[in-house]
Every structure is written in structure tokens, then in C-alpha cells.
């Protein structure tokens, strides 16, 4: 840009609305709903956004909008039809445009994407999502054991989420060899009780803070093979609260507390747990996103003489593609007490946020 200022300033465009209607409305429509196909002059890609639809825009990260406006559609693996505006708009003007885009959703009851912190390996977060996750745990010593869990999550409206978790694995058997099979399937429903996002016009739009609180109930069905150690043979009801806090400098805290209550306590003990995760997002806007985290985990059976098991779990998550909707994480779960009976475990997952596109899209 030259000394006379940005192109929008030279044209007298002073607000985000002014810039949008001058540079964006021809394709995206004056109300964010998109220009009719007959008037657009191009074939709309399947991922073409509708800014007026809260269910499409609210869960998205503001940083992704900023990246696409700044560097064009390919910056996040979208269509090349979307041009880059980095040469004609300042960072502040891009913020103004994105704030205006956000205003097309009129229903404030939807939790905003900035409250969707990176997923920890164990601690459940509060934000409802539509994604599929494959998690694997393996002991670092002792008999061979690999346990997996395939989780399917789908948002239901603005504040709810259905979750189905299907465990399966391979365990060393007392008689030798490995036993493979299905574990106890869990079905849960999450509901957001509260969400709040604080965003000041004086700050960059991605520098918001806030918090979100959810409650989840679930039932664990005795579908596993008890004889192979792949299930408890008991129906269990679980409940937990999840509370996430987005802090300055791209840091965040995730807290989860709850309990598991079997239908028949003589078959399995009641238990309570507390999980927490602390992390910081690196390379937020335009590159691969790295997120180091550390979890502190506690679990205690509600039986006489029981002790609380404490673990720490250092880990990191990384985005695998430009759209950042395919991610992976790996960490090492380290027991703090009772280390003779509880080995260290390598824990990892691969995550596909299918709400943001197909598994092969955005690379």
C-alpha cells in the first residue's frame, strides 16, 4: 500500500459495511445469503457460505474468516474464486469486514466458534460439534494392550450434541495370545447451559475471551466381551459438566467433572472424576496450527479404602490440512501414584470435523 492509504480509504469506504457492499455483495449478496446463481456469473462451489445462516457461520472460527479474506479461498482449502484482499485492505479493515459478516447471524443463542478450544486427549470440552474421532491407547510396559474408541458426534440445533462412542481393542489373554472384540458402547447427549464471548472493537477480532458451560448425560451399555476383558458387563449411567475458558494470548483452560453410576453397585463401583487441560494455540492465523497442552487427571472409586488415582498427560495437537478440519494429537499419560500397577500409556487420536467438509477436502 502506498502512503495515501488503502484502496478502501481512497474510495471513501469507512466501515466494514461500506467495504462489504462495495467489494463482497456482488457475490455474497447484500444480506449475506449469496447472489442468485443466475446473477453470480460463475458456478458456486458446494462450500459457498451463507452468512445469514447461524447454523453455518456461528461454529466457525473468526480467524478462518480473516485468513480467507486476507489470503483468498486457497488459504483454507476453499475455492480459488474467492480472491485475496491483503493488497487492498489493512488488517484493521479486514477485521471490520469480518465483524460485519458476523452480524448477519441475528440469533445470539448460538455459541461462537472462538469458544471451541482444541480437543484434549481425555478431558471433554463444552462446545458441541459434528465430528468423528478415532482414539488409541497403548501401554508402554506389561502385557500387550491396545484399546481404541471411535466417537461420532453430531450437533442438534444450536446448543445440543448427540455422541456415540464405540470402543474396541486387543488385549493380552491369561492363556496367551490376544483377544479382540467390542467394548461397552456409550450414548450421550450434551447441552450448552451458558456461553459468553467478550470482543472489543479496539482489539483484533480474533483476540476474544469468554467461557462456555455444558452438561452431558450418557448411558453405557454392556455390549462388550467381559470374558476377554473388553467390558464390565454392567449398565452404567454417567453425568459430567464441562467448562472451558478462553483467555488472552491464545491460552485456554478446560475443566470436566462428573461421575459414573452402575445400575448394580455390586457388579461395578461408583466412581467420580475430575479432568483438566491447559493449553496455548501457536501459529493461529495463517499457518499450521500447533497446540501444546497438559492435562491433570483424577479418578476415584467410591468404595471404602479407595485412593484417588492421579495422572499427568503432556500432549500436543496439530492440524493436518489447510482447512484445519483434520487434526491429530499424541501424548504420554503418566501415573503420579500407584505406578507399579498402572503403566504409562501412549494416547493418540485423529479427528475429522466433517461439518467443515469432506475428509479429502481442504488439503
Give residue-wise pLDDT tens across range 280-291. Answer: 998 755 568 999
Mean of all residue pLDDT scores within the chain: 89
Three-state SS for 93? Answer: helix
Domain with CATH 1.10.760.10 in the chain: 7-102
Give the residue, 37 or 112, on which the prediction is more confident. 112
The answer to whether domain 114-356 has CATH 2.40.160.40 is yes
Q: What percent of the chain is modeled with pLDDT above 70?
A: 91
The DSSP-derived string for 6-37 is -HHHHTT--SHHHHHHHHTHHHH-TTSS---H
Predicted pLDDT at 49:
85
First to last CA, the chain: 31
At the top level of CATH, the class of 7-102 is mainly alpha
Q: How far apart are CA 238 and CA 219, in angstroms?
A: 6
Residue 341 backbone phi and psi in degrees, to 5: -95, -20
* For range 210-231, the mean pLDDT: 92
Residue 302 backbone phi and psi in degrees, to 5: -90, 65
Does 3 score more than 50 pLDDT? no
Q: Who's near 166: CB < 8 A, 6+ residues apart?
A: 149, 150, 151, 152, 182, 183, 185
Q: How far apart are CA 52 and CA 34, in angstroms?
A: 9
* For range 275-299, the mean pLDDT: 89
Predicted pLDDT at 200:
65
Residue 356 backbone phi and psi in degrees, to 5: -90, 0
- Choose among 118, 113, 97, 184: nearest CA to 155: 113
Q: Who's near 138: CB < 8 A, 6+ residues apart?
A: 145, 146, 147, 345, 346
CA distances from 89 to 32, 165, 195 (A): 20, 46, 32
Does 231 score more than 50 pLDDT? yes
Contact 104, 57 (CB under 8 A): yes
Residue found by looking up cell 469480518 in the block: 98
Where does 72-194 have alpha helices with state H?
91-102
Domain with CATH 2.40.160.40 in the chain: 114-356
Q: Please write the tens of the pLDDT for every residue from 59-87.
A: 988 888 888 999 998 888 888 889 999 88
Mean pLDDT lowest for which of 9-13, 321-325, 350-354?
9-13
Amino acid at each position: 500500500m502506498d502512503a495515501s492509504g488503502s484502496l478502501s480509504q481512497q474510495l471513501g469506504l469507512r466501515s466494514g459495511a461500506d467495504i462489504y457492499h462495495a467489494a463482497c455483495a456482488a457475490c455474497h449478496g447484500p444480506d449475506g445469503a449469496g447472489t442468485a446463481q443466475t446473477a453470480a456469473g460463475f458456478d458456486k462451489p458446494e462450500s459457498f457460505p451463507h452468512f445469514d445462516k447461524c447454523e453455518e457461520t456461528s461454529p466457525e472460527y473468526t480467524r478462518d474468516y480473516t485468513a480467507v479474506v486476507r489470503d483468498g479461498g486457497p488459504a483454507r482449502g476453499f475455492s480459488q474464486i474467492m480472491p485475496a484482499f491483503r493488497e487492498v485492505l489493512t488488517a484493521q479493515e479486514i477485521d471490520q469486514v469480518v465483524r460485519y459478516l458476523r452480524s448477519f447471524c441475528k440469533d445470539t443463542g448460538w455459541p461462537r466458534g472462538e469458544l471451541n478450544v482444541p480437543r484434549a486427549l481425555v478431558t471433554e470440552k463444552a462446545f458441541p460439534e459434528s465430528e468423528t474421532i478415532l482414539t488409541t491407547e497403548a501401554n508402554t510396559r506389561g502385557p500387550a494392550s491396545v484399546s481404541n474408541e471411535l466417537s461420532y458426534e453430531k450437533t442438534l440445533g444450536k446448543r445440543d450434541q448427540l455422541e456415540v462412542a464405540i470402543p474396541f481393542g486387543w488385549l493380552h489373554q491369561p492363556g496367551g495370545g490376544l483377544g479382540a472384540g467390542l467394548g461397552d458402547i456409550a450414548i450421550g447427549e450434551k447441552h450448552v447451559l451458558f456461553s459468553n464471548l467478550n470482543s472489543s472493537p479496539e482489539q483484533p477480532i480474533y483476540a476474544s475471551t469468554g467461557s462456555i458451560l455444558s452438561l452431558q448425560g450418557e448411558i453405557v451399555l454392556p455390549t462388550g466381551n467381559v470374558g476377554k476383558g473388553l467390558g464390565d458387563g454392567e449398565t452404567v449411567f454417567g453425568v459430567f459438566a464441562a467448562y472451558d475458558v478462553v483467555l488472552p494470548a491464545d491460552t485456554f483452560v478446560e475443566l470436566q467433572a462428573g461421575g459414573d453410576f452402575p445400575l448394580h453397585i455390586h457388579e461395578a463401583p461408583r466412581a467420580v472424576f475430575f479432568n483438566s487441560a491447559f493449553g496455548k494455540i501457536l501459529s493461529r492465523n495463517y499457518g499450521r496450527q500447533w497446540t501444546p497442552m497438559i492435562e491433570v487427571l483424577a479418578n476415584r472409586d467410591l468404595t471404602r479404602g479407595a485412593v484417588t488415582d492421579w495422572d499427568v498427560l503432556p500432549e500436543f495437537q496439530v492440524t493436518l490440512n489447510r482447512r484445519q478440519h483434520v487434526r491429530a494429537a499424541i501424548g504420554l499419560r503418566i501415573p503420579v501414584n500407584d505406578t507399579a500397577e498402572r503403566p504409562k500409556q501412549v494416547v493418540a487420536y485423529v479427528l475429522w470435523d466433517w461439518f467443515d467438509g469432506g475428509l479429502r477436502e481442504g488439503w
